[in-house]
Amino acid sequence: MTTSTTDRPTLLLVDDESTNLAILREILKDHYRLLFAKDGMQAFDIAKQHAPDLILCDVMMPNMGGFDTCRMLKQEPRTVDIPVIFVTALTDAVNETQGFEVGAVDYVTKPVSPPVLFARVRTHLQLVNVEQLQQANAKLNDANAKLADANRRLRGNFEASIRMMSSIIEQRNGRLAGYCRRTALVGMKVASALGMSDAEQEEVYHAGLLHEIGKIGFPDDLLDKPQPSMTQDELKLYKQHPLNAELILVPIEELATASVYIRHQHERVDGLGFPDGLVGDAIPLGASILAATKFYLDKVMGRRIGEKATPTAAIAALKEQIGGRFPGRVVEAFESAAITIPSDETDLVELDASELRGNMILARDWKNQKGVLLLAAGLVLSETMVRQIQGVAKRAGVPLILGIKPLDAEGQPVQKGPT
C-alpha cells in the first residue's frame, strides 16, 4: 500500500549514472516523493529550491564529487540541516571518515540492499522529526516564557492601576489613608476562610480596594460623615455612591464581578439596605464580605466613632448584626480567619534608587512631599521607569528610598497573592 505523494517525505537522489538513479527510484518510489540530480551543482540548486527531507548522494561523480557537494550544502543556511547519506562503493575507513567530516550522517554501500536502504532512510528521517520537534518545543517554551513574563507585567500593572484608582479617594481624606487596602486584605482573608476560590478571593480584594471610588465627586465634608449625621440631600447623594462606582468600573471586564460586589455593599440580609433592597441569599457573598469587613474595620480603627474597639469587641458587634445586616456564616468567618489588621509596610525591602532594576515590583506607594501619588504599589518597574526614577533622585541630590517586594534566590520578586 502506497501513501499519497503529498504525505510522503521528499528525497533528493544524486548520481551521475542514470542506471544507479533508476535502481534507487525502483526501491523508493512507492514510499517517498523523489527528486533527481546528475551532478553536485544541480543537486545544490534543487536542494535550495525544494528543501528535501533527505539527500542520497553518490561519492564518485565528475566535476563535483559527493564530498564537495556535501560541503557546499552544509555551508548554505537553506540546506545546512538536510541530512546527507552517501551511497557509494567506497568502503575504506579513510573515505568514511572524510564523509562524516564534511557533514554526512551515514553511508549505504553499493550494491544497494533495499532493506538496509529503507532502514537507514527511515532512521534518519525519524531523527530529523525528533530534532524538529525538539526545536519546536524549545521555541514554544521560549514563547510561553515570554508570554508568561508579559502577562505578569500586565497583571502587575493592572493591579497597580487599581491601587492608583483606590488612592485617588484616599488622598482627599487623611482618615481614609490605607483604609481601602486594609479592607481588601481583610476581605480576602475572610473569603479564604469561607472556602472561596483564588479567583473569587481576588474579586473580593479588588472590591475592597475600589469600594469608595463612587464617592469621587463627593464634597470633602461628606467623604467620612456617619449616615445618622447626614441631611436628606446628603443621604440621597450618599446612596448613589455604589451605583456611581458600578458605572465607573463595569466597562472594565476584569472588574465586572467586583463592581457587582461594590454595588451591593450596603445591602442587608433583612432587606432594609440599598440600592436594591436585596434579601438573604440574594445578596452576593462577596458583597456581604465587603460590608462586614468595613463594619469590622470601622470598629477596630475607630474610623467613624473615634474610639478604637478591640478585635474581640468588634466581632461581638458583628454577631449582634447577624440576621439583620450580615449573614451568620460571614460573621463566623471573622473568628475562624484570625483577622489581624495589615500594615502597609509588610512584605517589602527598602532600596536606594541606584539599586533598582527592571522587573522589580513596588511594595509601597511612592508619593511626593505633598502626598501626591506618583507610582502605586504593585507596579512592575520597567528599565525605562528605573532610569526615570534614578534621574529624579540624581536631580534631587538626596537619597531616594523605595519599598520593593522581596526577591527570591534567583532575584525574582516574591509573589504573595494580589499586589
Look at residue 1 in the predicted model and tell me its pLDDT: 42
Q: Which amino acid is at 167?
A: S
Decide if domain 349-404 falls under CATH 3.90.105.
Answer: yes
In 309-397, the DSSP E strands lie at: 349-352, 366-367, 373-375
Query: Checking DSSP bridges between strand 349-352 and strand 401-404, what pairing results, if any?
Result: antiparallel
Look at residue 165 in the predicted model and tell me its pLDDT: 78
d(CA 222, CA 229): 10
d(CA 213, CA 228): 21
Q: Which CATH number fits domain 175-336: 3.30.1490.20, 1.20.1600.10, 1.10.3210.10, 3.40.50.300?
A: 1.10.3210.10
- Count Cβ atoms below 10 Å from residue 264 Cβ, excluding itself: 24
Q: Which helix or strand (DSSP H or E) is residue 38 part of?
A: none
Report the CATH fold assignment for 5-112: Rossmann fold (3.40.50)
Q: Which helix or strand (DSSP H or E) is residue 161 part of?
A: helix 114-170
Per-residue pLDDT of the chain (419 residues; tens, 9 = 90+): 444 556 789 999 999 999 999 999 999 999 999 999 999 999 999 999 999 999 999 999 988 999 999 999 999 999 999 999 999 887 778 888 888 999 999 999 889 999 999 999 999 999 888 888 888 888 889 888 888 888 887 777 787 778 777 777 766 665 666 788 889 989 999 999 999 999 999 999 999 999 999 998 898 888 878 888 999 999 999 999 999 999 999 888 999 999 999 999 999 999 999 999 999 999 999 999 999 999 999 898 877 666 888 888 999 999 999 999 999 999 999 888 767 665 544 457 778 888 898 888 888 778 776 667 788 777 788 888 899 999 888 888 777 888 888 765 555 555 544 54
Cell numbers linked to 197: 476560590
d(CA 85, CA 167): 70
Look at residue 375 in the predicted model and tell me its pLDDT: 81
pTM for the model stands at 0.57
Domain regions of the chain by residue span: 5-112, 175-336, 349-404
Sign of CA dihedral 127, 41, 107, 13: positive
Answer yes or no: are the C-beta atoms of 35 and 13 closer than 8 Å: yes
d(CA 244, CA 412): 39
d(CA 215, CA 239): 10
Look at residue 407 in the predicted model and tell me its pLDDT: 65
Look at residue 176 in the predicted model and tell me its pLDDT: 65
